[in-house]
Chain A
Amino acid sequence: MNIPAGKVDRLISLPFSKSVEISYKSLKVRFFRSMITVSSLVLAVSFLSFVLVNLDVAAGLLEHGGKDAARALLQAGYDVDAAQNMVTMSAKERWIVILSLLVCTVGIINAQLMSVTERFSEIGVMKCLGALDSMILRIFMLEAAMQGLAGASVGALLGGIVSLLTNIIRFGFNAIHDLSILSMLGSVGIATLAGCLLSLLGVLYPALLAARMEPINAIRAEH
């Protein structure tokens, strides 16, 4: 057996489409579990999106409503900087958003660790069949990316819609009328992006753990 030295890395391969297929199937099979993993992300991202869209609405109101709007906003609990004509998040609110995102990340790490443990033998078998560490890592990252994208976009939309509804109730239809659509889309986008990043961040450690595992330990773990 003469392994052509330079060629070896190219000899073992997993096309990207195939990795996507494997990840997608794993998610589909464990649909309920994936849903629960994603649900914490949905909640955290929708909260972020809710807060950001609230700010956009407030900014719109302030811009068009002048002094009256500023008073109404102050009453509603916003930090209004009258001199610069700007509305900002209160410090407390900021902390709650950050905390909720942190808690969500820890939750994702926990869920993904469980998912990796559950699949120890599967990972071991793949390695026995010739899978490289990087392939295992890629499969887990792809799964997390899909979960992240789905969960974060649902969460961001949900948060945005809830925010619009509450603002309509609070300030009437002026809230929507004065709202800059662009900045609202921006806020929803930021929330989605943040959710995806958190999901990837949360899977990093469990996926590395899975990828580095020796196949023999992985197969033994089942017994």
Chain B
Amino acid sequence: MSEEKRTIVRVIGVTKTFTMGKVELQALKGVDLEIFAGEYVSIMGPSGSGKSTLFNMIGGLDKPTDGKVFIDEVDISQLDAFELAWLRNRKIGYIFQTFNLIPVMTALENVTLPMTFAGMNADDAQDKGIELLKLVGLGDRFQHKPLELSGGQQQRVAVARSLANDPSIILADEPTGNLDLSTGEEIIELLQMLSVERGVTIISATHDYKMLNVSDRVVWVRDGQVDRVERREELDITVGGIGDKLAGRTNGEEKA
């Protein structure tokens, strides 16, 4: 890790309470987190741990009940609708578990849509879209509709789309959740390549242990709190222990 670290995401004392009927559920109980530019960070935790909630906060998709989320030192709770749209359009690229491509558009149109929103002219967007699809290994299939592509290919299109406006952060919500083992690995490799070659900050919420090997840091979330943050070097030492961790998590999941 370089000496000069620039903080790109800063989470300070974030709590989130959901009200379900009369029951109040505290999904996050005060989370502090700092993520640096160019890092590959995995947020790990069992379902119900508040992992997705934290993830949505960072992406500006949800607002914290208390506390603050800064992206590039800008407090996102202070942004109005236009500025939030701008943030989602230019600063953050989203990748979802269910791919979420727009079914009526071709792969290329899916990739160029964010560029259109950003005001890029159609020809430039077309060129850039093809270039991005080539980058993710789909150079020859850009006229296909999402349903004509396999799961892995759809997720590649989604990766290309997330890169459309050269965002500084890519948020991947269980990107391998709906993919088989080898396709999942390909997507992880792709994300790692982007992180290394393009210096994009990648934040991924996952419970896929394949992600551990490529992450610079792993944030373990448990019971609405950050349990611990581990760097990859520390993880390597305990590689033998991952199985135990897995078992530990499974118990935690049963409790949750």
Q: Which A positions have Cβ atoms within 8 angstroms of B?
A: 1, 3, 8-15, 18, 22, 25-26, 29, 121-122, 124-133, 135, 214-216, 219, 222-223
Contact = CB atoms under 8 A, between A and B. Distances in A.
A8 B62 contact: no
A216 B56 contact: yes
B98 A222 contact: yes
A26 B88 contact: no
B117 interface: yes
A10 B72 CA distance: 22
Given A125-B102, A126-B102, A132-B81, A13 B117 contact: yes
B interface, size bucket: 35 or more
Contacts of B164: 129
Interface string B105-118: 10000000110111
B74 A3 contact: yes
B113 A129 contact: yes
A129 B100 CA distance: 11
A68 B61 CA distance: 74
B94 A128 contact: yes
Main SS class of interface, A: helix
A14 B117 contact: yes
A8 B82 contact: yes
B241 interface: no
Nearest first, the 8 closest Cβ-Cβ pairs linking A and B are A130-B89, A1-B72, A216-B61, A8-B82, A29-B104, A129-B114, A130-B117, A125-B100
Interface in B206-232: none
Contacts of A8: 82-83, 86
B82 A219 contact: no
Given A126-B102, A129-B113, A13 B85 contact: no
Nearest to A4: B86
Given A1-B74, A216-B62, A130 B86 contact: yes
Contacts of B96: 125, 219
A4 B87 CA distance: 12
Nearest to B173: A219
8 contacts: A1-B71, A1-B91, A11-B89, A14-B116, A125-B96, A129-B117, A130-B85, A131-B117
Interface in B57-100: 61-62, 71-74, 79, 81-83, 85-91, 94, 96, 98, 100
Contacts of B82: 8-9, 12, 132
B139 interface: no
B205 to A, nearest CB: 13
Contacts of A121: 98, 100
A13 B116 CA distance: 7
Contact of A3 (B56, B81, B86): B86
Contacts of B62: 214, 216
B116 A15 contact: yes
A127 B96 CA distance: 14
A223 B82 CA distance: 28
B243 interface: no
A13 B119 contact: yes
Contacts of A29: 103-104
The residue in A18, A124, A127, A219 that gathers the most chain B C-beta atoms within 10 A of its C-beta is: A219
A3, A11, A12, A129 pick with most chain B CB within 10 angstroms: A129
